[in-house]
Amino acid sequence: MRLKFTMTSALATAASLMLSHAALAQAAQTFDEVVAKAKEEGALFIAISSPGVPEGHQALIKAFNERFGLNLRIEWTPTNPVQTGTRLIAEAGAAGSVDIVGNGGPQEVMVLKDRDIVKPYPWAEVFGKELNGFDEIANRPMEDLRGYVLPIVDVAYGISWNPNLIADEEVPSSWAELFDPKWKGKFSVNSLALNPLDYYTFAVGKDATLEMAEKTLDNEPVLERGTAAATRAVAIGQVPVGLSAFHIAQRTEGVKFKLFDDYVALNHTFIYVPETAPNPNAARLFAAWLVSEGMSVVEEFEKLPRAADVGSPLAKMVEDAKAKGAKILEEDSLANSSAAAETRAEISDMLTNR
């Protein structure tokens, strides 16, 4: 029995290695092969939440098809990446329905990576010489996710305020200032685990972050479904200030925005191609083009800031914050992401039990 088990294991290992080599060989396509196969596929199904302007979607589709001489039928649904991830997990083992997913952060990607729904691809090798600036962009993600994802938006969190309700100098410069009784019921925050409070785990630890969550809730914030909704609450005058993000505040009329002086939560979000993508070549070609050359098309309709884009408004804002002593809180490893996810889960339980 032991001999049989050993031989079976050896055969399974050999088969696994052969499959791995075959997969790598299949993945290591040339740029011209990707374009040719994309043309054969003829379609593309995108589930990316940002860019989110419909006019921008149409402009991107037109520019993409013209750039590569294609006539793909492209459907774009700006779906929340958590919902899309749940859908992909449910579809595991069956025919896929989504080609490109976004804009998930490391915690969202980690769930799919652990299930082999998202696997590595030689992005830089295939597209680096063909797309302007792509090689550097493809290597920006943390080492644990390099090859799995491409960077699309950096969500830099801070505080927004309504200048018709509060003077600039009265706006809190840290999350901790919101614990003051004078702010009771006068600020808005994302009801999803008080996002981005879980990032404070990287600076002060889980226990202190959970204490911050308790103090936040004790001061009776206006809880909104999402950071965009929390920002809208400020814009319409429901509250004078609210937790917000740079790119969301830019899109929202009637608010001003700044980063906190002590800590800046910076969430790197990505787009990625699942293994079940029905049109994998069209998906990879579009994804690589979007995060490089396609960003100039996006900029005509909305801002998708990335802190590593030299000279960009967000890059300057983050550098200024660092120069003043602010600590940047970001997920730079999957171990780091796991710690934040654990804190987030406990904050969610705290909200449920109140």
Handedness of CA 171, 163, 247, 324 (dihedral sign): negative
**Taking residues 101-118, what's their average pLDDT?**
94
Angle between helices 54-68 and 280-291 (to 10 degrees): 110
- Please give the single-letter amino acid code of residue 174: S
Q: Is pLDDT at 18 greater than 60 in this prediction?
A: no
Please give the mean pLDDT across all residues of the chain: 91
Angle between helices 81-91 and 106-114 (to 10 degrees): 0
Q: Considering only CA atoms, which of 265, 218, 220 is closest in space to residue 245?
A: 265
Instruction: Give the tens place of pLDDT for each residue, 286-305.
Output: 999 999 999 999 999 988 89
Q: Which two tokens stand for residue 150?
A: 């491409």
Kindly list the structural domains of the chain, giving each domain's residue range(s) and its CATH number in brackets, ordered by start.
28-154+269-298 (3.40.190.10), 155-267+309-352 (3.40.190.10)
**Taking residues 316-326, what's their average pLDDT?**
95
Task: Tell me the pairing of strands 187-190 and 241-245.
Answer: parallel
Full-model pTM = 0.85
Q: Is pLDDT at 322 greater than 90 in this prediction?
A: yes
Q: Is pLDDT at 16 greater than 70 in this prediction?
A: no
Instruction: Give the tens place of pLDDT for each residue, 187-210.
Output: 999 999 999 999 999 999 999 999
Measured distance CA(27)–CA(30) in Å, rounded? 9
Query: Would you call the peptide bond into 196 cis, given omega within 30 degrees of 0 as the criterion?
Result: yes
Query: What are the backbone dihedrals phi and psi of residue 266, each rounded to the nearest 5 degrees, phi first?
Result: -125, 105
What pLDDT, on the 0 to 100 scale, is given for residue 43?
Answer: 97
